[in-house]
Amino acid sequence: MNPSHLVVGRYIWRIMPLIQFMKIYTTLRCGTSFALEIVSEQFEGKRLLERHRLVNAALGEEMKQIHALSIKKAQTPEQWKQQQESEVSKPTS
């Protein structure tokens, strides 16, 4: 059975309970290609590659069923806050 975005989310939450924001969406009609945006305290002090490995490890055996996984954002709460503030302060054209 192919994993759904709910299954993907459940696996990630199980290993990474300190997530403050997570967005999961399918990227292709096959239903096994996902894109993620995650904000977690568990990313503190970790480089981008380490953050991606943490997410991949959380998915464990489910990774065998996933066609493609794109981690669009893997940010700390502080990085996410700064991004949100910069987006709000951008002038509209």
Tokens of 3: 């994993």
What per-residue confidence (pLDDT) applies to 53?
94
Instruction: For residue 69, give the CATH number of its domain.
Output: 3.30.300.90
Q: Which one-letter amino acid corresponds to residue 60?
A: G
pTM score of the predicted model: 0.78
Compute the distance between CA of residue 29 and CA of residue 31 in angstroms, rounded to an integer: 5
Q: Which two tokens stand for residue 22?
A: 């997570």
By residue range, what is the domain housing residue 55?
5-89
Domain count of the fold of the chain: 1
- Picking from 77, 48, 4, the residue whose alpha carbon sits closest to that of residue 12 is 4
Give 46-84 pLDDT, tens digit per residue.
999 999 999 998 888 888 888 888 899 999 999 999 988
